[in-house]
Chains A and B, each alone.
Chain A
Amino acid sequence: MFVHKVVVPVAAMVIFLLFWEALVWAMGWPNYKMASPSDLWPAYVKYADLFVINSWQTLWRTVAGLGLAIIFGTLLGMVMGFSRIMREALYPLLVGFNAVPKATVVPIVALMFVGAHDFNTVLIAFMISFFPIAVSVSIGLSTLEPEYRDILAALGASKVTIFWKIALPKTLPEFFGALKVSVTLAFIGTNLMEIVSPHGRGLGALFDSGKTNSDYPLMFAVLIALAALGILLYYVVIALEKALAGWAVRD
């Protein structure tokens, strides 16, 4: 168990870093073209406090946006899952909204709520990540086999009872599948706003300052820090999934 869960992934990561280092060394790339892992370490040491502060900024705003996306996405999914009319009415709107590249929405939002940096960032993280959740919850609910409803409906159970006892738990595996996608999307949203909005907070801002100062190792170090945060949050979702929907996993 320990070998599978820890040793294998860590070994894969070490091999990847060694391969990266070797590739940069073999190709003789200068670090403005491609920094190697050994270049990143000095960047982390030099800007350790900035990394801690800005990682926290990015993390809490991503989690806040994701939290909103979970609440709003689940509610929207419920509305669309239970009502066919609402589903037919909202799907085109939702798909259209999702098709708009969020990078183009960022400057609009930044202007609309000028100065409200935290709010803007959370808003973009939310906007980019609620779609998969809404779709998966609505599909999970609308494809519930009628017999599942009938076993409780035949006893006179209310719709709310059927939702809590059957529909909601049965949708959890789909919900977590979507949440894994949304976690990564939320990070993209947060960083889009951090890079564009001139408030100098978050890993996005740190990346931007690396660009301004031609500090290429710093830029790569930010990317790796983002990847690390992404992995961290992803595993939080996995742990939640295991606790709440572990029954769906067959060993």
Chain B
Amino acid sequence: MSDAPLIDIKNVTHTFQTKSGPLQVLDDLNISVREGGFCAVVGPSGCGKSTLTRLVAGLLKPDEGEVWLHGERVKSPRSTVGMAFQNPVLLEWRTILQNVMLPMEIVPTKTTKKQQEERARYLLALVGLEGFEDKRPSELSGGMRQRASLCRSLVHQPDVLILDEPFGALDAFTREDLWQTMHKVKEKEPFTGLLITHDLRESIFLADQVVVLSGRPARAQYVLDVPMDGPRDLEHLYTHEAAEMLTILRHQIEIAQGRAPVGSPAEPA
């Protein structure tokens, strides 16, 4: 069991029907993530990264190919998945605590209301939002809202966490803060992660595997293994190894964008 990947995307092809005809976004895409792994997916904008998250979450069905989660084929949404988006989508008529508790109103659990509230409070404290439980979302900053959104995606103890550019709209300092929070959260609340991002530094700081998608229709063009395990400091981003990885990734993105020839060597930045 432990050897089988927890997230397994097998030969997935997907096409949207648009007004100007069919638009193929994914082409024979293969990605697998081991249990407890954290996979970052990077690629040119508009290459179908968000479609990928919706396929894994079971919100969309692939035209061809299969998506498997913990050994079961995904045919519809499942409660073992947590999801967070670039837009924190907090409900304005609920307090932060009530927002975080929302998934537990949907997912059947054996826990009491009191235990659920304790869990929500624990997660809020973990991401540094202690004392903001009874505030409204409009009273929080963008970074704090994203922290609350992260708590909501984890509150029902999912084993798969899908993050669709969750830090994309934040300023650079807040983003780095949240990267560190992510490591802290993953240590206490283990999950298998799939992160969509357009930030290469973010991908090597958070993930242990970075998949570069080609331009549309997207296939897995390059897979980079990040030789770092568990939490890391921001200083790691300024090491020689990190610089090398970023150079390779940047070069792969240029290939995906069609700005560098396939197979050309990566020049140090």
Say whether B59 faces chain A, with CB atoms less than 8 Å apart: yes
Please give, as numbers and ranges, the residues of chain B lying within 8 Å of A151 by CB-CB distance: 83, 85, 89, 102, 152
Say whether B81 faces chain A, with CB atoms less than 8 Å apart: yes
Q: Is the interface of B mostly helix, strand, loop or mixed?
A: loop
Flag if B103 contacts A147 (CB, 8 Å).
no
Flag if B85 contacts A156 (CB, 8 Å).
no
Flag if B106 contacts A155 (CB, 8 Å).
yes
Flag if B81 contacts A154 (CB, 8 Å).
yes
CB proximity of A177 to chain B, nearest CB, Å: 16
Please give, as numbers and ranges, the residues of chain B lying within 8 Å of A248 by CB-CB distance: 92-93
Contact residues, A44-79 vs B (CB, 8 A): none
Please give, as numbers and ranges, the residues of chain A lying within 8 Å of B83 by CB-CB distance: 150-151, 154
- Cα–Cα, bound, A154→B161 (Å): 11
Kindly state the interface size class of chain B when it binds its partner: 20 to 34
Please give, as numbers and ranges, the residues of chain B lying within 8 Å of A153 by CB-CB distance: 59, 77
Say whether B174 faces chain A, with CB atoms less than 8 Å apart: no
Kindly report which residue of chain A lies nearest to residue B85, judged by CB atoms: A147
- Cα–Cα, bound, A157→B54 (Å): 15
Number of A residues with CB within 8 Å of any CB on chain B: 21
28 example contacts (A-B, Cβ-Cβ < 8 A) are as follows A145-B87, A145-B89, A147-B85, A147-B87, A150-B83, A151-B85, A151-B89, A154-B58, A154-B162, A155-B77, A155-B79, A155-B81, A155-B103, A155-B107, A156-B77, A156-B79, A156-B106, A156-B107, A157-B106, A161-B106, A165-B102, A170-B91, A170-B92, A172-B93, A245-B93, A247-B92, A248-B92, A250-B138
The 9 closest A-B pairs by CB, nearest first: A247-B93, A156-B77, A154-B57, A155-B106, A147-B89, A154-B83, A157-B106, A147-B85, A169-B93
Q: Known pairs A145-B87, A150-B59; list 10 more (Cβ under 8 Å).
A: A147-B87, A151-B83, A152-B106, A153-B59, A154-B59, A154-B81, A154-B162, A155-B79, A156-B106, A170-B92
Residues on B close to A: CB < 8 A?
54, 57-59, 76-79, 81, 83, 85, 87, 89, 91-93, 102-103, 105-107, 136, 138, 152, 156, 162
